[in-house]
Chains A and B, each alone.
Chain A
């Protein structure tokens, strides 16, 4: 009768489903790990953190507008566009 084959096919369907679940889980974990990397880089380039007297950064910089290169008088960066510095009056005119 076909019944033993039915049972067998249900067992193998169950095995296939289990394997699929494991594959999807592993895939999600790997994708998430990759996403942490990508988001880290994107975040770093859009909103960099405050600098201290530290050594070279290990994160690769893809954007050119990083504001972490100048001396300590520059304030901590907040946006991508170059912010106006404090204290230095550029325009002409005298007080």
Chain B
């Protein structure tokens, strides 16, 4: 059984841990400044928002920009399958706020904003209540912002745009948020889980952080186990835990697994046999050509249809386009329609050719990375479910198959 770190403490069903209990359990938040940045660097902590970018390097870029930065605590969690950020906010809000405080002090931030999904009421209440309990001036000045319930609203440039102008559309980069973000100030956009790890590294140090982990990986990771597992939900595992081990921790697979969607809708489909051996560690997954993404491990069984699932996801992603550029709006829509045609009416050669051709035409041409994420998913689906795509029977004559992976 893995030692819990972020999720250790009182039972999660008890809700938010109060400030008093938090300080009693873990002690007050750490004070030092430059030392902390060194510890974060040595820990090798990477971001948990999906991109997996090294945290220390990001903080260096923000501080190098010169003027007083803004810190966005990103709890938007636009990924439908992901639950980890909400669970963390609802049960351990003070860990997140400690992390934000550390970032504010290290980077000498002028402002902290806490960006929570507008429909995530429990998380909002917990974070607001926790904020009210804090005595520190940086946190007393902090403000909450309700992220619109769209997939792209959690993207860092959308968060910046929302805090600057109250409109949550992604913007094209350059400029990167760390150069010019909210109101033109350099901005650090950091996922809530990442900040929670920072809070513990600040107290116990980099060596402590690295003392957890399997197969050469360091630290712990929050996952959301979804789909054909007996106990879907949020788990904290040591980095380097295999998918098979994580599925066991989630009660085991429900039915014989066919494939795993690793990393959420912007992740990749992997054949189950290969997936089960994969270690859940950003570096190792990158080497294998995948990524941890937002930590969703979505299992589908032999009874589910990979083609139909992919078509469903593509339709969702196409619908979430912000319509700011042709390649995304028209390209993703065309790809999604071709997928849906195959799913609903059965395989045809033209649509398969279109999927291949248009994927390579659209990739890299968008104003943001939304189309790229969808295309990576689609290409992994064509690889993993190649046989199914090539021989998919028409479903429209029968009843449509229910979604194999429920959204959170």
> In the bound complex, how far is the Cα of B345 from the Cα of A3, in angstroms?
12
Main secondary structure of the interface of B (DSSP, over half): helix
Chain B positions 343-390 with a Cβ under 8 Å from a chain A Cβ: 345, 348-351
Q: Name which of A1, A4, A6, A7 has the most chain B CB atoms within 10 A of its CB.
A: A1
CB neighbours of A4 from chain B (8 A): 349-350
Measured in the bound complex, the distance between the Cα atoms of B348 and A1 in whole Å is 8
CB distance from B344 to the nearest CB of A (A): 13
What residues of chain B lie closer than 8 Å to A7, measured between beta carbons?
350
In the bound assembly, the distance between CA atoms of A3 and B353 in angstroms comes to: 12
Minimum CB–CB distance from A10 to chain B (whole Å) comes to: 11
Give Cα A1 to B346, complex, Å: 10
> Which residues between 1 and 26 of chain A lie within 8 Å of chain B, taking CB atoms?
1, 3-4, 6-7
Report how far A7 CA is from B349 CA in the complex, Å: 11
Cα(A3)–Cα(B350), bound, Å: 7
List residues of chain A with CB within 8 A of the CB of B349.
Answer: 3-4
Bound: A6/B354 CA distance, A: 14
Taking the closest CB of chain B, its distance from the CB of A3, in whole angstroms, is 4
Residues of A within 8 A of B350 (CB): 3-4, 6-7
Q: How far is the CB of A92 from chain B (nearest CB, A)?
A: 85
A7 to B348, CA, bound (A): 12
B337 to chain A, nearest CB (A): 13
Q: How far is the CB of A1 from chain B (nearest CB, A)?
A: 5
Q: Which residues of B contact A1 (CB under 8 A)?
A: 345, 348
Q: Closest CB-CB distance, B271 to chain A, in whole Å?
A: 29
**What residues of B have a CB within 8 angstroms of the CB of A3 in the complex?**
348-351
CA distance A49 to B37 in the complex (A): 89
**CA–CA, A4 to B351, complex, Å?**
10
Chain A contacts for B348, CB-based, 8 A = 1, 3
A6 CA / B349 CA spacing, docked (Å): 13
Shortest CB distance A24–B (Å): 28
Using CB atoms, name the residue of chain A closest to B350: A3
Q: How many whole Å from B339's CB to the nearest CB in chain A? A: 15
B345 neighbours in A (Cβ, 8 Å): 1
A3 to B349, CA, bound (A): 9
Docked CA distance A4–B350 (Å): 7
In the complex, which residue of chain B has the Cβ closest to the Cβ of A3? B350
Give B341's nearest chain A residue, CB to CB.
A3
Q: For B351, list chain A residues within 8 Å (CB).
A: 3
Distance A7 CA – B351 CA, assembled complex (angstroms): 11
Closest to A4 in B: B350
Complex CA–CA separation, A3 to B352 (angstroms):
12
Least CB distance from A58 to B in Å reads: 56
The residue in chain B whose Cβ has the minimal distance to the Cβ of A6 is B350
Task: Give chain B nearest CB distance to A6 CB in angstroms.
Answer: 8
Most chain B Cβ neighbours within 10 Å, of A3, A4, A6, A7: A3
A7 to B350, CA, bound (A): 8
Q: In whole angstroms, what is the CA distance A1 to B350 when docked?
A: 10
Interface residues of B in 6-61 (CB under 8 A from A): none
Distance between Cα atoms of A1 and B351 in the complex (Å): 12
**In the complex, which residue of chain B has the Cβ closest to the Cβ of A1?**
B348
What's the nearest-Cβ distance from chain A to residue B246, in Å?
42
CA distance A3 to B346 in the complex (A): 12
Bitwise, B256-273 to A at CB < 8 A (1) or not (0) is 000000000000000000
Provide the A35-54 mask, 1 if CB < 8 A to any CB of B, else 0.
00000000000000000000
- In residues 328-348 of chain B, which contact A (Cβ within 8 Å)? 345, 348
Cα A6 to Cα B351 in complex, Å, equals 12
What 1/0 flags go to B126-162 for Cβ under 8 Å of A? 0000000000000000000000000000000000000
Q: Looking across the interface, which residue of chain A has its beta carbon closest to that of B347? A: A1
In the bound complex, how far is the Cα of B348 from the Cα of A33, in angstroms? 51
- Closest Cβ–Cβ distance, residue B348 to chain A (whole Å): 5
Q: How distant is the Cα of A38 from the Cα of B351 in the complex, in angstroms?
A: 55
Name the interface residues of B54-100: CB closer than 8 Å to any CB of A. Answer: none
How far in angstroms is the closest Cβ of chain A from B58? 48
Closest A residue by C-beta to B353: A7
Nearest first, the 9 closest Cβ-Cβ pairs linking A and B are: A3-B350, A3-B348, A1-B348, A7-B350, A4-B350, A3-B351, A3-B349, A4-B349, A6-B350
- Listed in ascending order, the chain B residues whose CB lies under 8 Å from chain A are 345, 348-351
**A residues apposed to B, CB below 8 Å:** 1, 3-4, 6-7
Q: List, sorted by A's number, 10 A–B pairs whose CB atoms are closer than 8 Å.
A: A1-B345, A1-B348, A3-B348, A3-B349, A3-B350, A3-B351, A4-B349, A4-B350, A6-B350, A7-B350
* Known A1-B345, A4-B349, A4-B350; 7 more pairs at CB < 8 Å: A1-B348, A3-B348, A3-B349, A3-B350, A3-B351, A6-B350, A7-B350
